[in-house]
Structure 1
Amino acid sequence: MRILAIDYGLKRTGIAVTDEMQLIASGLTTVASETVLDFLSDYFKKERVGLVLLGEPKQMNNEPSQSAELIEVFLQKFKDAFPDMQVERVDERFTSKMAFQAMIDIGLKKKQRQNKALIDEISATIMLQDYLSRKKSF
């Protein structure tokens, strides 16, 4: 069964997923946020997903960030659409910065690094890989 991570944003939502054995996190796609529930509905019909990770944006002082309210609204819609799906919130601080740095590290050109959709997908992948790493250490 797979684990899926969602980096939800106002315009775009990055999505990452594990393999069936939950060993490797891979970027899946970035979709327009208004279509993400439809995309997930189709995906859940094709793939077995046992857990969804949803980013929880926090400020440095651990207070919710400005986008927290937007994500809470999405979370409620998600739960209404998929009441049986297990959801776990995960800290998403620094994932966008880490995604951007990863793009530099792998040698993407400046034009490619300006692709915000790719940053969102990589952010979701980082969130998922971090979760898998923490899970292994227990």
Structure 2
Amino acid sequence: MAKYGRIIGLDIGTKWIGVARTDLLKTVANPIGTYHTENAIDEIKKLVDGERVEKIVVGWPLTPAGQEGKAIKMVEEFVARLTKALPDMEIDKIDERYTTKEAVRAMVEAGVPKMKQRDSDRVNQAAAAIILQKYIESRKTDNVRITDRYV
């Protein structure tokens, strides 16, 4: 593992993929974009090719009871395509329960106007940043359960 490198976080949806990345020291997650599922792989590949990315973290959609939800299949299919495009990239998954609600709450607390809170681009990016920040924090403590390594 590189001493200085980034981790990319993904919030995978049916039409849109929210993307976030860490700073080089891997301490803070920042939202960077939302891409349509049709071109998200190409955009993520550009990020990986253009920056020192050492890992990708995907949100794993569990039910409130902690079981794998119906969205698992969609996420698995996207991750399979991503793995094919980036065969040497390490991909981890982490429980993403409630990240969209947390993203909206964070926007409310930050004073984002209601119309912009409904903007799915902003919500997806913010959810990706929350997923990634949870992953970063889980590496420091055992407060957040990281599910099995995907690849």
Q: TM-score range by the shorter chain?
A: over 0.9
Aligned equivalents of 1:63, 1:131: Cα separation in 2: 19
* Corresponding residue SS for 1:53: strand
SS at match of 1:83: coil
Distance in 1 (CA, whole Å) between partners of 2:51 and 2:37 is 21
1:34 Cα shift?
1.0
CA offsets per residue over residues 23-74 of structure 1, 9 Å max, x none? 1110111111111111011111110110100110010122211211101111
Q: CA deviation at 1:99?
A: 0.3
Aligned residues with identical type, % of pairs: 29
Candidates 16, 28, 34, aligned match of 1:12: 16
Name structure 1 gaps, 5 residues minimum: none
Instruction: Please state which structure has a larger fraction of its residues in helix.
Output: 1
How many aligned residue pairs are there? Answer: 138
Structure 1 distance, partners of 2:110, 2:9, is 22
Q: How far apart are the structure 1 equivalents of 2:125 and 2:7?
A: 15
Please state if 1:45 is matched with 2:49: yes
Provide the aligned C-alpha RMSD in A.
1.0
> Structure 1 residue 31 and structure 2 residue 32: aligned?
no
2:137 corresponds in structure 1 to 133
Using the size of structure 1 for normalisation, the TM-score is 0.96
Structure 2 length-normalised TM: 0.88
Gap runs ≥5 in structure 2: 143-151
Aligned-partner Cα distance in 2 for 1:106–1:60: 26
Does 2:80 correspond to 1:91? no
Give the 4+ runs in structure 1 shifted more than 3 A. Answer: none
